[in-house]
Amino acid sequence: MTYYRTINPATGEVVAEFPAATAEEISQALDSAQSAYLSWRQLDLAERSRLLRNVASLYRERAQELARIISVEMGKPVSQGAGEVGLVADIFDYYANEGPGFMEDQQLTVRGGGEAIVRSAPVGVLLGIMPWNYPYYQVARFAAPNLMLGNTIVLKHARNCPQSALAIQQIFDDAGLPAGAYVNVFATNGQIAEIIADPRVQGVSLTGSERAGSAVAEVAGRHLKKYVLELGGSDPFIVLDGENLDATIKAAVGGRMSNAGQACTASKRFMVVEDIYDAFVEKFTDRMAAIKHGDPLDSATKFGPIASQQAAAELIEQVQDAVQKGATLRTGGSLVEGAGSFMKPTVLTDVVPQMRAYHEELFGPVAVIYKVKDADEAIELANSSPYGLGGSVFSADIARAKSVADRLDTGMVFINSTADSQEDLPFGGVKRSGVGRELARSGMEEFVNKKLIRTPA
């Protein structure tokens, strides 16, 4: 039998497990979501807004409990978990407040007179497939705009996050949403294809790996279903000058190490102009080496474990491949001895295209630093990646930084800042980082029927 399991990454202990859904349970979930859609889409917008505000309030009320759940499930320090929950509450409040305005009819001026409007209408039941690294946030940025729009949600969470999945379901239930508006399912991979193909489902959103994204896109395309894919990233962090170098290095380490480096928008590839390269490497490495791991349930801990032994082993293999092929290991490169899947913060230099670390996403506390001659070489190196999610450009010359940002093949660029997620900023990438956008107005413009209503003169 297939199970959803909570395995504490700090101890390796199996904490809880739940059986995967049966075929009958999947069918009942789809029936419930379809039935709810028929009434939810007709509900007054003010009432939908009120219910989303209820959701936001419950997240805030339960912040400490929710943070503890994900700390045990995927190792996020409770202080960071509480911050994630706060962002989730902001997302639900944002769509409760701004969503009705985003849905206002668009008046068109047409030849021949009369009236023509474009109305934003829901499309139906949507499937969400969500990952483990931000168990609440990833769900919120998909669910909040689509519930406001009038769609209903069937949600398949990561198999190592069953308790956070159930906590989310409980919040929607307690907030007063009708049964079926949001339905959690412990589906298997085989069942996912069947759900996408089901005529009751009108679209699918996945945040996860390239492999999962390709599989979902293939099935969705075969059945002519809309999809949004938020996939991996290997974000460049470009340093153009040595002004405020200590502050830049502090931002660089923070951008690499938040959530133990397990973020698609984490800064992963550092491109530093040659005249300050040596100073940057030395200070950056010293900061990384000084970071200490700790119990993620301790409020003082900033650096927790990798989410699973399997993920940690994969990361170690990528590092070892680079070192065996000539990369310089400046610090780290191994797991911490003892229970759990803690990995030492790691810095690599002299990485070349023959190494996995050059092309692949390093999903954990591993930084790669490159020496570049100038901005042009930094841009060329940044754009050589198959990914195109986000990036950062640091320089005292803002105009120069913006010029570099304009030439990066990414969906997002941050000037003198690492990647930041806000409810009112669109999120998404290009190339192998995915298809579509989430958050801001964009979050309500993916799974929507832009319906033309024409009244001739």
Catalytic residues: 230, 264
* Geometric angle at alpha carbon 309, from 339 and 256, rounded to 5°: 100
Contact 130, 427 (CB under 8 A): no
Task: Name the token pair of 135.
Answer: 């168990």
Beta strands in 136-200 (DSSP E): 152-156, 182-184
The SS3 assignment for 443 reads helix
- Three-state SS annotation for 62-121: CHHHHHHHHHHHHCCCHHHHHHHHHHHHHHHHHHHHHHHHHCCCEEECCCCCCEEEEEEE
Long-range CB pairs of 107-111, under 8 A, 24+ apart, other chains included: 110/454
Structure tokens at 233: 């990233």
Do the Cβ atoms of 74 and 132 come closer than 8 Å?
yes
Q: What are the DSSP calls for 11-74, one per residue?
A: T--EEEEEEPPPHHHHHHHHHHHHHHHHHHTTS-HHHHHHHHHHHHHHHHHTHHHHHHHHHHHH
Chain centroid offset of residue 375 CA: 29
- Which has the closest alpha carbon to 445: 198, 228, 196? 228
Tokens of 15: 């904490």
